[in-house]
Chains A and B, each alone.
Chain A
């Protein structure tokens, strides 16, 4: 029996009489709640140095992030308005839904050298791919395997066309983006590689290579793009990209990659087919060419945020230092050990 004499004040002076059936609680640091513990208390030193360390780490991180973001060259061209012929601009929806030709030419100028790979995105705004009805309107099992072609219950109203299941079914697939871009530099066509823009796992595990589009866009209303019915879904990368729904109403999606460098001053002509209707909900459309850094695309927010938080911490450190210098409080000052400070509390 292990007797803890130090704590047993109740006269346990006779440890030899080991009582077998004693109800004495067993001693362990755990049961007696005496486990060694540490916790830095918030002394001025700790507070100030914590703030300082955070600011010392965060400010350089912010600077690095900003540099990374600055390295990225990005060309953004909003074309949704300009690609409507001026006379039709009073009723854009009618134009986009009409049969008139939709081709449109845009010219972009490269202001800084862009190293390959250069990513081509389309950016939509005010488009709620995250709407609950929209997100749910798909059939993962149908996409995966021809066996489950008939699992279309979630896809209403784009579930079947004349009793035949639509593959791929649902609102997401149905509203597939269908603007196309043809790029040329200095009158030589600029190849846009549309392979390898989807996630590998999507291609391999979510979209079956034996599933072919069926009855797609054959319903009473045509939504977006059509699909070639002889290519399996796993190769329809535009669809795969589109079906990976965006989180926010403003989003970009990969259109392709340009695998040559673009030099400063290059002009790029884009011939685009302006098919996709964002006008009815006044959504913007943009074409984006962008390089990437190790951090990804161009966004200064991260760097600025780091700098801000680091700055605030630095300021706080400073403020606390001053406060401690101006109005010091002795650590563990016993004058605070009194409830007299809040009289009437009783």
Chain B
């Protein structure tokens, strides 16, 4: 196997000063053996009797919620955590007692159906998880077996102590101790995207004594004593006992399950933690479960219904008690003798009427149980799942390049999408692409790079400035260039002075050469040469770094190979203009870290001179410049400022020649520091590094553009038109953030900017004095003052708001100020100010601050927040917000895993909110209102009937009619409403973003509306009941003289209810497709079908329904006439109300629908679409089809 050769001569561990020597503290290791640190692993010896005795868990992993045995009890338990379900369960039990107003099976059946449906749903979801588990458990890995060979086995069969071999691009099957790798010094690269979402490669490093060849690895015997399983990904405490020696282990030697081996041919490892003991599994907690506002409100409504239920049951019981007491007169005579009150059970005993009334109360609670919609929860769940499918299926939210459609990862929050008041957005990777492009640079005080960034273009547009001829020129050059050469990813640089080797003619050619050499050498990227095309691509730790290497490649400094100590470039010699290969000896790499903010390499060039090449943030680099290295400082600083304003990320490029002696002295000191084992080693290494990174000579600076994603400004524009507030929370510099703000039209010209910052001279002087308390106090006061000022500024504007153009405000606050603004004492004011501004930008904010800001907005305003982000640093924010949306872009899956919805591009947010959110909100809100309506309509007819049956608890209808009501006769239309209804089409939703306010202001689910629907239900029930009993009074109802009895009245009234609620659905929905027709009229049909079938069963089953329709009520014209009368009358109040409302207080969508109609009408008559600027629907439709056909034909050819 070709890949099996070891990369000879690669000792990367020596170069990387920081990564390979992670600190460990002795204290931890002393704990080994005590509690919490008791794990013992016999390496490569899992059959050791002692190891078997330890009996650690296998590598079998199960993430399912249920197992085959506990599914039924556990899922049942889950079900009955809902109040409504408990109520129905109690009812079901009591229904076996004589208290029940109806037969037990008719109560049990719908309950079982509902519970069963939910359980099936749970089961299916769990099965899916199980399938994933099976897939993971059956992956294969090579394990060293008894036969002395590596043989393949399934993951689930791995045991603690097994020696495994993992190849490139394979996942680690368990938490492993790295023994050795294809590199001589036992390093390997690991991608931890599945763990923390970071795409950059991490270096892992085996202990020196274990990093041997395969043969010795096979005979490796040792004992690891280490910590017990825990969830800390970045810590590991353990010791390796090997050949009588003890070696401390650190996280550096641990390879975690679910991370991937990269850039390394193979590794050997010993299994330390298996299965659920692995760190990733220990970490697997369920994300916080979120519930939507509507659902929370729904619970309140359920309580209202319970109160109504109790009130009417109580009323009935009081009357029942009074009537029952009077059944026996004072002198012992029976009044209603036909009820035999003298010989009765306790439930009807006149002598103990109070007790009877109490029992009746229980009966009534069951009888009016139809007020509580048993199927509401299950219907909502079904609806939400279907809505999620629609979101997933939306072609408009599918991203071609990454092949990613939108994903609703949870279906709980669909309707919440329609109520978002504030969006909190990450910047990098969310608003921008997170693919860096090298666009400009400043070398030796001269700015290069003609291209205009999108930010600049946008800024110009904002300012309304026309372009100067020169700029237009540069743009057109860019166009020409874009057309002539193929575009290179990560490179968008054009300057005729530099490209195509022209830089050799520049006056500063030497510096230019140095500049690009630094870019080509000072990095940690690894080249990857395509053996077929010879093209080189790079694996870099960060996209910025990749952009630099690519830029230097494009400009003639092609980095093509890296060995342990050498970096090889193809270079153009500026003297001769020829292409030569140069090899630099790499002596040390002082890596980038967030505290150092710089990176340096020390190399020996082919001419045997030593150089320190360094790049870093301006804040740390300028202070390290040598006196004679500051020649171009002023210009460079000016350029850096301009670049930052143009939304670019800048780095300062410097170098320095080091003489041999100095280097030798330094190296000694540095290596000493490295080998120290004391706690302050880190500080010493830093100090040592500091010593050589000084007296630098400035060459210039780079400017990399983090490009805005496509459509971001439009999307933000639309969202703010919809009245959604957008906050950007970014880690970037203030200037960059502001400019991105302008570019994506968050900040607009004419908007007043309120800056809150601590960059004031007084505070800086205080900081210099180093009195922390004083600084904190002064900062606090300063922020307080700035907030007050902002408030008065906005207040002044709102007071003058009588005039038309209300002033808009944008708030910009930096991370340091944010720390104080988020203080308990100031947060209220901060929030108040922020909510008066139409956009808010928080720069330099940490992940923690992002989450805190989110929490502040969420709890402070009580409005719905949506957080959107793509990286691991956004996870806190995503989980904190009401809705978390993850961008499933390049930067790993961590954000997506923590999100509720995943989209590929920021611009899809527009559609997700304005279309799907709006629809889902409408649907769920209407659905719930309608549910209450239909159950009140039905439940109250029962109550009115009771008044005519001396409140004895006899329902007006046959038991089975009632139990089928929620499940068969009314369920499908309401589900169709919840899944399909739309007030206006997607296109109009986007065209009139203001429509979205219906959700934000919660107009469709306000208490007035809910109570209105309830009232409508009660009115309908009254109309149904009283009209029916009066038309079908005591007289004959057929020509043959028969009179109405209990069964006929029940059937007629019930039919009226079914017709009314279904027709109510028909007139209240806005979207009538064949599905709605099918379900609405079908439900009515099903009722009659049911009546016929059930009525034909033997009378012992069907009791009062026996042949009642076929023989009795269908041939009677008065039954049908009653039905028509009742249905129309019951719908009349709602219809009249709607007509009135549309006339005088039209809702927003009503207007849009009307406008649409008139537009279509006008454009139809004028045969021109100029009025609306759009094609009429029909035409559009036809075109659409033609195009679809055309493309289909194309794809066949």
How far, in Å, is B1154 (CB) from chain A's closest CB?
4
Residues on the A chain within 8 Å of B393, using CB:
25-26, 31-32
Whether the pair B1001, A345 counts as a contact (CB closer than 8 A) is yes
The complex places the Cα of A12 from the Cα of B401 at a distance, in Å, of 9
Residues on the B chain within 8 Å of A27, using CB:
395, 1188
Interface residues of B in 514-530 (CB under 8 A from A): none
Whether the pair A131, B1043 counts as a contact (CB closer than 8 A) is no
Residues on the A chain within 8 Å of B336, using CB:
128, 131, 280-281
Interface residues of A in 236-292 (CB under 8 A from B): 244-254, 257, 277, 280-281, 290, 292
Whether the pair B335, A332 counts as a contact (CB closer than 8 A) is no
Interface residues of A in 218-234 (CB under 8 A from B): 221, 223-224
Whether the pair B394, A3 counts as a contact (CB closer than 8 A) is no
Q: CB-CB contacts of B678-713 with A at 8 A, as 1s and 0s?
A: 000000000000000000000000000000000000
Whether the pair A131, B1194 counts as a contact (CB closer than 8 A) is no
Whether the pair B1049, A248 counts as a contact (CB closer than 8 A) is yes
Whether the pair A305, B1027 counts as a contact (CB closer than 8 A) is yes
Whether the pair B403, A24 counts as a contact (CB closer than 8 A) is yes
The complex places the Cα of A299 from the Cα of B1028 at a distance, in Å, of 13
Whether the pair A128, B952 counts as a contact (CB closer than 8 A) is yes
Known: A10-B399, A50-B1135, A134-B339. A37 touches B1073 (CB 8 A): yes
Interface residues of A in 174-201 (CB under 8 A from B): 174-175, 197, 199-201
Interface residues of A in 114-145 (CB under 8 A from B): 117, 119, 121, 123, 127-135, 140-141, 144
> Is residue B631 contacting chain A, with contact meaning CB distance below 8 A?
no
Residue pairs across A and B with CB atoms within 8 Å: the count is 331
The complex places the Cα of A246 from the Cα of B1031 at a distance, in Å, of 15
The complex places the Cα of A24 from the Cα of B1074 at a distance, in Å, of 26
The complex places the Cα of A66 from the Cα of B426 at a distance, in Å, of 73
Q: CB-CB contacts of A304-315 with B at 8 A, as 1s and 0s?
A: 011001001100
Which of B273-281, B575-583, B1109-1117 touches A?
B1109-1117
Residues on the A chain within 8 Å of B1046, using CB:
129-130, 135, 244-247
Per DSSP, chain B at the interface is: helix
How far, in Å, is A179 (CB) from chain B's closest CB?
14
Which of A77-85, A104-112, A161-169, A333-341 touches B?
A333-341
How far, in Å, is A13 (CB) from chain B's closest CB?
10
How far, in Å, is B656 (CB) from chain A's closest CB?
47
Of A128, A131, A144, A298, chain B has the most CB atoms within 10 Å of the CB of A131
Residues on the B chain within 8 Å of A312, using CB:
1132
Q: CB-CB contacts of A138-173 with B at 8 A, as 1s and 0s?
A: 001100100000000000111000000000000100
> Is residue B961 contacting chain A, with contact meaning CB distance below 8 A?
no
Q: Which residue of B lies closest to A118 (CB)?
A: B1041
Known: A248-B1049, A280-B337. A41 touches B1157 (CB 8 A): yes
Of B101, B1030, B1143, B1184, chain A has the most CB atoms within 10 Å of the CB of B1143
Which of B7-15, B111-119, B1097-1105 touches A?
B1097-1105
Residues on the A chain within 8 Å of B980, using CB:
33, 35
How far, in Å, is B893 (CB) from chain A's closest CB?
15
Q: CB-CB contacts of B1117-1157 with A at 8 A, as 1s and 0s?
A: 11001101100110010011011001110101011111111
The complex places the Cα of A25 from the Cα of B130 at a distance, in Å, of 25
> Is residue B1170 contacting chain A, with contact meaning CB distance below 8 A?
no
> Is residue B333 contacting chain A, with contact meaning CB distance below 8 A?
yes
Residues on the B chain within 8 Å of A8, using CB:
395-396, 398, 400
Known: A296-B1116, A332-B1155. A119 touches B1036 (CB 8 A): yes
Partner of A42, one of B953, B1038, B1045, B1139: B1139
Whether the pair B1041, A292 counts as a contact (CB closer than 8 A) is yes
> Is residue B822 contacting chain A, with contact meaning CB distance below 8 A?
no
> Is residue A93 contacting chain B, with contact meaning CB distance below 8 A?
yes
The complex places the Cα of A294 from the Cα of B1144 at a distance, in Å, of 45
Whether the pair A44, B1143 counts as a contact (CB closer than 8 A) is yes
Residues on the A chain within 8 Å of B348, using CB:
133
Residues on the B chain within 8 Å of A25, using CB:
392-395, 398, 405
The complex places the Cα of A252 from the Cα of B1035 at a distance, in Å, of 7
> Is residue B80 contacting chain A, with contact meaning CB distance below 8 A?
no
Whether the pair A123, B1034 counts as a contact (CB closer than 8 A) is yes
Whether the pair A339, B994 counts as a contact (CB closer than 8 A) is yes
The complex places the Cα of A128 from the Cα of B390 at a distance, in Å, of 54
> Is residue B1106 contacting chain A, with contact meaning CB distance below 8 A?
yes
Whether the pair A175, B1035 counts as a contact (CB closer than 8 A) is no
Of A131, A132, A158, chain B has the most CB atoms within 10 Å of the CB of A132
Q: Which residue of B lies closest to A9 (CB)?
A: B396
Partner of A133, one of B344, B401, B1030: B344
Q: Which residue of B lies closest to A291 (CB)?
A: B1041
Whether the pair B1070, A39 counts as a contact (CB closer than 8 A) is yes
Whether the pair B723, A339 counts as a contact (CB closer than 8 A) is yes
Of A133, A223, A320, chain B has the most CB atoms within 10 Å of the CB of A133
Q: CB-CB contacts of A201-220 with B at 8 A, as 1s and 0s?
A: 10001100000000000000
> Is residue B1071 contacting chain A, with contact meaning CB distance below 8 A?
yes
Partner of A337, one of B398, B985, B1151: B1151
Q: Which residue of A lies closest to B916 (CB)?
A: A33
> Is residue A89 contacting chain B, with contact meaning CB distance below 8 A?
no
Whether the pair A297, B405 counts as a contact (CB closer than 8 A) is no
Known: A41-B1154, A333-B1151. A248 touches B1121 (CB 8 A): no
Whether the pair A281, B1050 counts as a contact (CB closer than 8 A) is no
Whether the pair B1195, A23 counts as a contact (CB closer than 8 A) is no
Q: How many residues of A contact B (CB 8 A)?
A: 120
Whether the pair B1139, A293 counts as a contact (CB closer than 8 A) is no
Known: A5-B1187, A32-B395, A257-B1041. A329 touches B954 (CB 8 A): no
Interface residues of B in 297-332 (CB under 8 A from A): none
Whether the pair B1035, A130 counts as a contact (CB closer than 8 A) is no
Whether the pair A223, B1121 counts as a contact (CB closer than 8 A) is no
Residues on the B chain within 8 Å of A251, using CB:
1034, 1043, 1045
> Is residue B1183 contacting chain A, with contact meaning CB distance below 8 A?
yes
> Is residue A22 contacting chain B, with contact meaning CB distance below 8 A?
yes
The complex places the Cα of A246 from the Cα of B32 at a distance, in Å, of 85
How far, in Å, is B676 (CB) from chain A's closest CB?
53
Of B1034, B1039, B1072, B1183, chain A has the most CB atoms within 10 Å of the CB of B1034
> Is residue A60 contacting chain B, with contact meaning CB distance below 8 A?
no
Whether the pair B403, A331 counts as a contact (CB closer than 8 A) is no
Residues on the A chain within 8 Å of B1195, using CB:
1, 3, 15-16, 18
The complex places the Cα of A61 from the Cα of B1033 at a distance, in Å, of 19
The complex places the Cα of A19 from the Cα of B952 at a distance, in Å, of 69
Whether the pair A7, B1029 counts as a contact (CB closer than 8 A) is no
How far, in Å, is A258 (CB) from chain B's closest CB?
11
> Is residue A101 contacting chain B, with contact meaning CB distance below 8 A?
no
Q: Which residue of B lies closest to A11 (CB)?
A: B400
Known: A134-B339, A293-B1039. A31 touches B390 (CB 8 A): yes
Q: Which residue of A lies closest to B1192 (CB)?
A: A2
> Is residue B361 contacting chain A, with contact meaning CB distance below 8 A?
no
How far, in Å, is A246 (CB) from chain B's closest CB?
6
The complex places the Cα of A206 from the Cα of B340 at a distance, in Å, of 25
Interface residues of B in 607-645 (CB under 8 A from A): none
Residues on the B chain within 8 Å of A156, using CB:
343, 345
> Is residue A324 contacting chain B, with contact meaning CB distance below 8 A?
yes
Whether the pair B1039, A294 counts as a contact (CB closer than 8 A) is yes
> Is residue B795 contacting chain A, with contact meaning CB distance below 8 A?
no
Whether the pair A296, B1191 counts as a contact (CB closer than 8 A) is no
Partner of A131, one of B339, B396, B398, B1122: B339
Partner of A2, one of B340, B347, B948, B1191: B1191
Known: A2-B1191, A10-B401, A245-B1046. A35 touches B1073 (CB 8 A): yes
The complex places the Cα of A37 from the Cα of B981 at a distance, in Å, of 10
> Is residue A75 contacting chain B, with contact meaning CB distance below 8 A?
no
The complex places the Cα of A6 from the Cα of B1192 at a distance, in Å, of 12
The 5 A-B pairs with the shortest beta carbon distances in the complex, nearest first, are A332-B1155, A297-B1035, A297-B1036, A119-B1041, A247-B1049
Known: A8-B395, A298-B1035, A320-B1139. 6 other contacts (CB 8 A): A33-B986, A130-B948, A251-B1045, A280-B334, A292-B1036, A306-B1125
